[in-house]
A and B are shown apart, each in its own frame.
Chain A
Amino acid sequence: MIEPEQTDLTLGFIPLTDSAPLIVAKEMGFFSQWGLNVKLQKQNSWATLRDKLHAGLLDATQMLAPMPLASSLGLGCAKVKVITPLVLSLNGNAITLSEKLHQEILQENNIAHVTLPLAAYLLQKVISVRNKQNRPKLKFATVFPYSCHYYQLRDWLASAKISEVDLDIVVVPPVSMVAFLESGEIDGCCVGGPWNAKAVRAGIGLTALTSFDIWQDSPEKVLGLLASFQKAKPNTVIALTAALKQACIWLENIPNRFEAARLLSSDQYLDASVDVIAPSLIGSCLTHITMPPRAIPSYNQFSKSSNGSINVPEYIRGEWLISQMINAGQLKNIDVPADLVRQVFRPDIYQQMRLKLEDQAVQFFRRSG
């Protein structure tokens, strides 16, 4: 077993379906198995979560996959070295359109119903008609400037040669997304669960496609912590990473996912009904109040025994995120230090953790054998 230098830890999370690994590790006792006493602290905004990590008020936190890179580059914040030793989840986002935009798509394209996943070119007519009639541009929302949500939305629109010249993209916090869709302030959004399902259940939106339809199996949330913290407390980081990896493995099992949905629904975590949390966890994408759900087995992916590497923060994942940031104009190629990805993505820590995890399993079998 490993001896953590620091046992009391405060971890940040944003109430979303894919915060499951943190909540499961806490509730199923994985943190305590590794000698950690973890306090989970709910955060309301990604920017404040990031600032609290930078300031040391959070020891580690769930982060959007591009955030450790953005922090290390000083994009939108002071430059602070943040690393990630673990990918917490893949996929999990979806693009939901307001009912009003759904109706506009049917009308302008002269069709009776849409086919899902929705092709972005169906928006072209809506955009050109609005333009001709001098009506306001369509407005889409994502959750943060440095988020896969933003890059996925851009990629989907680009598949029909629609760019940010044709419509506006703004940032709206996940908790406000459904209300904004309902009030008509935004026409569509790319957001994680349970907010898409919530909009569909409430009859105010159509979930047009999931992020899995846009990018297959790409990292969505990662564990982020300060490089200086890892340097000072390497064993703590290994214990923390091991407990979370165990939670990810536990979450691979579909029957466990429903149990996870029940844990998540409590008011200290997501404070939402199992009705909207469970579907994506068990691979069901709610689409529209009048339409059947779509089967998306990889909607929320936490671990995969057939592909042992999905939790590994591989360099190639980091390079891919950098290329997305460059495409979105957030970064110029010359601004990226050559060793950036190697500084931020830390498969070496992951491998050390794997060895400890295997040791522990061997010991367990010896004892029980």
Chain B
Amino acid sequence: MARKDSLQHTALPKEQKHLIPELRILLIDENQQRAESLASALNNSRYKISHLASPHMSLLKQVDEIQPDIIVIDIESPSRDILESLSAISHYNPKPVVMFSAEQDTDTINQSIESGVSAYVVGDLQADRVKPILDAAVARFREFQKLKEELSDTKQQLASRNLIDQAKRLLMKKRSLSEDDAFKAMRKTAMDTGQKLDDVAKTLISLLNTI
């Protein structure tokens, strides 16, 4: 544990520091004092805070203008539902969200919050705890995004394999071809027309099914 901490606090060599881009934080907290102490705690780090105090101010506009890299929000803020929709609205890229709650008894929520939330902090945001939490949140979010992309790639691959199999079976049945010949015919069409194999399969399926 101690070793991990000392690693995080080790100052980076100067030239390396410039390589790390500044990260913009949108902080949603009605407690002005807490917000200020957090901002000063992050002074001289790669995190830059844009504070948003009132829920009546435009959160979406701020997200648009600031394009934050991280959103930090009090779990009891009504604006939490606005964030919920950010992942559903396509033109907002998903962002890591750090939630915090001053109430001790809410730590079990941690287990139930998954999608999009990268870290969950119980107790007030204390200055010395904040930076490692943000670091971890960013890292975890990136991991999560990578997993999600991999999953959708796998799903895509599975779907196209299904399509190709289906087209192949149709060809075998309707043109009485062997499995090998059916596949070769499809591959030839794909190469001749410069289409993807699954696009050829899609066309074949709709064609053979209508004939």
A→B interface (CB under 8 Å): 44-48, 51-52, 54-57, 76-78, 80, 143-145, 170-176, 179-180, 183, 185, 330
Contacts and interface: CB of A to CB of B under 8 A. Distances in A.
Contact of A170 (B89, B113, B114, B115): B89
A184 B75 CA distance: 26
A171 B85 contact: yes
Contacts of A143: 81
10 contacts: A45-B84, A48-B76, A51-B75, A76-B84, A80-B112, A171-B81, A172-B81, A173-B78, A173-B79, A174-B78
Interface in B85-104: 85, 87-89
Contacts of B83: 47
A57 B60 CA distance: 30
Nearest to B120: A51
Enumerate the 8 nearest inter-chain pairs by beta-carbon distance, A residue then B residue, closest first.
Answer: A171-B85, A173-B78, A54-B112, A45-B80, A78-B114, A179-B56, A55-B108, A44-B78
B82 interface: yes
Contacts of B105: 57
B157 interface: no
A52 to B, nearest CB: 6
Contacts of A77: 112-115
Nearest to A44: B78
Contacts of B108: 55-57
B6 interface: no
Contacts of B78: 44-45, 173-176
B58 interface: yes
B81 A173 contact: yes
B55 interface: yes
B81 A76 contact: no
B81 A170 contact: no
B145 interface: no
B106 interface: yes
Nearest to B58: A185
Contacts of B89: 170
B109 interface: yes
A171 B111 contact: no
B40 interface: no
Contacts of A78: 111-115
Contacts of B75: 48, 51
Contacts of B58: 183, 185
A179 B55 CA distance: 10
| Most chain B Cβ neighbours within 10 Å, of A48, A52, A80, A145 | A48
B77 interface: yes
B109 A51 contact: yes
B61 interface: yes
Nearest to B110: A55
Contact of A145 (B76, B77, B84, B106): B84
Given A145-B88, A170-B89, A44 B113 contact: no
Interface string B16-34: 0000000000000000000
Interface in B133-165: none
A122 B131 CA distance: 52
Contact of B111 (A46, A48, A55, A175): A55
A82 to B, nearest CB: 11
Given A45-B81, A173-B78, A173-B80, 5 more contacts: A48-B76, A55-B111, A78-B113, A170-B89, A171-B81
Contact of A45 (B61, B77, B106, B115): B77
A145 B111 CA distance: 22
A173 B55 contact: yes
B46 to A, nearest CB: 29
B56 A46 contact: no
B58 to A, nearest CB: 5
| Most chain A Cβ neighbours within 10 Å, of B76, B80, B105, B106 | B80
A68 B113 CA distance: 16
A145 B85 contact: yes
A28 to B, nearest CB: 29
A5 to B, nearest CB: 21
Contacts of A57: 105-106, 108-109
A101 B180 CA distance: 64
A176 B60 CA distance: 13
Nearest to A330: B88
B106 A52 contact: yes
A51 B87 CA distance: 17
Nearest to B83: A47
